[in-house]
Structure 1
Amino acid sequence: MASKRSFPDSFIDEDPQKALEALNEALQEDADNAAWLCQRAFAHILLKNYSSAVEDAKKAHQLNTSLPLAFMRTGIAEYYLNHFESAHAAFTQGQQLDDSDKSYEIWIKRCEEMMGDQTQNCVDKQTPAAPLVKHDWYQTESQVIVTLMAKNVPKDGVSVKFTERELNAIIQLASGEDFIFHLDLLHPINPEQSNFKILSSKVEIKMKKTDVIRWEKLEGEGQESHIKHFNPEWFSRYSGNLSLYGKYRTNTVKHRAKRNGK
């Protein structure tokens, strides 16, 4: 009788196409043979017919719910279809029926690794890296100037908000993306006398100082007792060469020696 025919893994592995043809013939005579359906699923897997393998393996499970091999075949086919969650579920159910088969544990770990990679890729796609815009700064006696190196910004593409100790700006880049810029300022500024200008190659933000002092840095918390005040006479004498002293360090030792006549 047809039901006594056997299709071991070794037979299928030797010639998957020949085995598939033999199983097709056998299942025409006994379409509800769960074991044969599992083996035909195996032949489909070897031939990379993964969708057909899933179909056969799931039908085998419906015919025999206690057949762990049906879950193994389903899991492997789903895995190669990149349906890692479905594969994981199938392997988990198969392991519950036959925990002596350690291959379930191996496949479960593979699925978990792939699911983790998919989750990370999804997060990366949903949260693209924020656009980067270089910035620089310098100062004069009365102002701190911040330059944002953004080219071809639309005339109405900049929004700047000044407060006494904060600068907040949103710049619409030529790419259409928004660049958000925030500073917690070292010292207070006068918001009403601060402004910005859009140029072809940059956005220039000028902040009015409330005190004629030299800022040691752009951000942070200023320590009033350590503030270095300007010497207006020195500034007017050397402003031609050192007006951008915010970018450069002043040689305070030489300056002190000069003032003392040494």
Structure 2
Amino acid sequence: MNPSPEESHSADLYAKANDAFFDDDYDEALTLFTKLVSMEPTNAEFILKRCQVHQKLNQLELALKDGESALKLLEQGSRSLLARAHLQVGITLHRLGQYVKAQSHLEQSRELNPKEKTLVTWLRKNEDKLPKDAPTATLAAATAPAPVSAPPVKATRYEWFQNDTFVTIEVFIKNVKQDAVDLNFFDNSLSLTVKLPTGSDYSLELEPLAHKILPKESSFKILSTKIEIKLRKEMIGIMWGTLEGDDQIIPMASSTPTTTAKKAKDWGALAREVDEETKPEGEQALNSLFQKIYKDADPDTQRAMMKSFVESNGTCLSTNWDEIGNKKTEVKPPEGMIAKKYE
């Protein structure tokens, strides 16, 4: 039987709405999902999708309203869809700072579907925010079936470093299969899920990232000992002070420099201090040194460092604003190499 014109129209709208969402065009996605909800007001799937769009747009009260509407529609419905609804309500309440209420919904999601995507990460995030005297895990612990015996899962470690163009995240999981990795990039977040040999999932949710990225120019590759994720910075030359959450954007030297009293620094001693504390290697060592110097420098030195580093494509780093403030820093490739423009 062929679908009716109305069903065909809904399917077409749904596909376009999903495309807009994954292309980070949240305004268009909101318009399309709202049309779908108006066409089928009892379709919980459409309402939950719009809930997620509201979250991306930081319209948390509207997201909560959609999540709660979906819960009412799904009281006698699919367990998997109901688990998603509880998860989305839990995420929204977490972002609204209502951590105890969020915990209840996250636990109900776990009871309905322990393998719900991103659930483990949000439970961890929310439990970290709960008051110390708040009861936790009561509902799920009382009703969940006994777990099947399995080898213990070791805690997974990840590290990150950067250059002027990319932020690189290394997730240390050995011998991962390509089809076991589900990774989605968004303009201010990423979502990673890895199916482990034990049957459990490892999930990494970074939202919001410290700065925006270009999802279509970001990538990942699987190595024998780790998953390497490369996030393409939207603003080249901006050094991230943190990977996730609020971070200050240091403006480039476009304004008149202020006069400040310069304090002499022993940069050699500072480099030794960084080496003794962290002992990073290669590009990570240079990045650590850069961040340490930049953090402790006065405003003029910071401007000089950013201007020289970006204008020279990372081949020159100056701390003297008086010397480079009124001229462009030339590219100075290492001896025996030729500088080429990036296409």
Q: Which TM class, normalised by the smaller chain length?
A: 0.3 to 0.5
Q: What is the TM-score with the length of structure 2 in the denominator?
A: 0.33
Q: What is the TM-score with the length of structure 1 in the denominator?
A: 0.42
Structure with the higher strand share, 1 or 2 = 1
Question: Which one has a bigger Cα radius of gyration?
Answer: 1
Flag the structure with more relative contact order, 1 or 2, with Cα contacts below 8 A and sequence separation at least 6.
1
